[in-house]
Structure formats: C-alpha cells, structure tokens
C-alpha cells in the first residue's frame, strides 16, 4: 500500500492564482480530512469527508473548497490564493469517522503565496 | 468546544534522561486523546491513544501516557531519551457530542531536542 499520497510536495503561487492540492489513499478509508500547519498553532482542520459525496467544513474553511467523488481521492482547491494561505497542508485518512481509529497522514504540501 | 494545551513549545533533554511532555485537555464529555509525532519534513505518525480503556497507555518507541481525569491531563513520558526521539510532538483530542472519533483538535506542538 502507498498509504496517503499528496502532490505536489512544494508549490509557489502568486496572490489571486488558483490551484488544487491532490490527496489520494489506497486503504479504502471512509474518512478523509485536510489540515493546515502553521508555526505555534498546531494543525487546524480545514475540511473533512465521511464518505464519497459527503463533505463538511472544519475550523478554518474560508478560501478552500473540497469535493469527494470517489473513496480514494479528496482534492483541496484554493480559489484565489492569499498570502495568509502560506502554510504546510496535510491530508489524512482513517477507517471511519465514528470511532477513534488511527489517522494516517500524507507527507504534506508546502505552499508559499507571494 | 474541546481543546488541548501543550505546556512548553520547546523541551530539551540529555540523551538517557527522562522525557516528559505535558498536555492538558478541556472537554465536557469523556474524550479520546492522542499523541502524534512529526519527524522533520514528514507527516504525523500516531504514538499512542486513549479510548477509555486502561488509563496508562503504552505506545511505540517506548513512549507511554497516563490519562488523569482529575487533572484533565494526558502527559507523555519516556524513561530514557534517544537521539532519534528528536521531533515535534502533538497532543490531540476528539470524541463526544462535539466531535466524532476521528475529528481531531490538536495542541500547538512541543519541539523535543535531545542533546548528546
């Protein structure tokens, strides 16, 4: 199993540009989520999904969109990048939302918005 | 809302010394509690979790944590630090009415340095 994969590893955007961060998992996990990591703030939940076709907002959803058309993929879209979105983004998955199963994290995408 | 507070953003110990990383939680219902570790330029990896079974939880790499309801704490310990333990450690909480089992709220993180 490849686990949770994320692409790209690094990205530089100009203010106002849009892009999609890709996330895929091959473990048939129902639950997937996106976090952003900023120094001194830990990880904050952006959006999550409890299954194909079902998504919901987390703690910091503004400026981001998600969709989940398949169990495997959960892309994160930045509609109009802002410098405040400079961060490291992590995708994670777990077997199910309902129980405290282990979450598996991808290697992260480092995004810089200038 | 549920929250966790990690006391000390940086902790430095000597190789072979006790490691103690502090975490206090706030929750109106019995929580699930986790410790994750992040090595440089990598994603997070689960060290251990508390899910209302035994209050002393053993994890990977010799780490353990004790759930103390009276102190609302879930501190992480390791008897003898190794150079390879240098990493950032995150405490997280989930569960109950406010969040599901998988929706994690993370603390700010503690950077552990191990000196030779």
Residues of chain B found within 8 Å of residue A45, distances taken between Cβ atoms: 103-105
Residues B1-26: tens digit of each pLDDT? 788 999 999 999 999 999 999 999 99
Instruction: Name the pLDDT band for B45 (thresholds 50, 70, 90).
Output: very high
Residues A12-31: tens digit of each pLDDT? 999 999 999 999 999 999 99
Which of A42, A59, A94 minimises the CB distance to B90? A42
Please judge whether B102 and A99 are an interchain contact, meaning their C-beta atoms are less than 8 angstroms apart: yes
Distances (CA, A) of B89 to A70, A75, B53: 32, 27, 23
Flag whether residue B96 sits within 8 Å of chain A, measured between CB atoms.
no
Q: For residue A53, give the nearest of A82, A73, A37 by alpha carbon.
A: A73
Residues B46-105: tens digit of each pLDDT? 999 998 778 899 999 999 999 999 999 999 999 999 999 999 999 999 875 555 667 889
Separation CA B64–CA B44 (nearest Å): 17
What would the two tokens of residue B46 be?
């689960």
């Amino acid at each position: 199993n490849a686990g949770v994969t994320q692409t790209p590893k690094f990205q530089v955007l100009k203010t106002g540009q849009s892009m999609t961060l890709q996330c895929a998992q091959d473990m048939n996990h129902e639950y997937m989520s996106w976090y952003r990591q900023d120094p001194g703030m830990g990880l904050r939940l952006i959006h999550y999904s409890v299954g194909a076709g079902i998504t919901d907002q987390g703690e910091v959803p503004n400026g981001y969109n998600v969709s989940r058309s398949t169990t495997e993929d959960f892309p994160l879209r930045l509609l109009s990048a802002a410098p405040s979105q400079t961060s490291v983004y992590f995708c994670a998955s777990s077997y199910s939302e309902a129980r405290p199963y282990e979450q598996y994290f991808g290697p992260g995408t480092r995004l810089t918005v200038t | 809302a549920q929250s966790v507070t990690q006391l000390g953003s940086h902790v430095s110990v000597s190789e072979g010394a006790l490691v103690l990383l502090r975490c206090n939680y706030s929750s109106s219902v019995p929580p699930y509690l986790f410790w994750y570790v992040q090595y440089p330029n990598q994603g997070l990896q689960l060290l251990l979790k508390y899910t209302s079974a035994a209050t002393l939880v053993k994890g990977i790499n010799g780490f353990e944590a004790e759930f103390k309801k009276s102190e609302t704490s879930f501190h992480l310990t390791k008897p003898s630090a190794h150079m390879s333990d240098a990493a950032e450690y995150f405490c997280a909480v989930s569960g109950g009415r406010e969040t599901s089992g998988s929706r994690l709220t993370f603390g700010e993180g503690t950077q552990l340095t191990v000196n030779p």
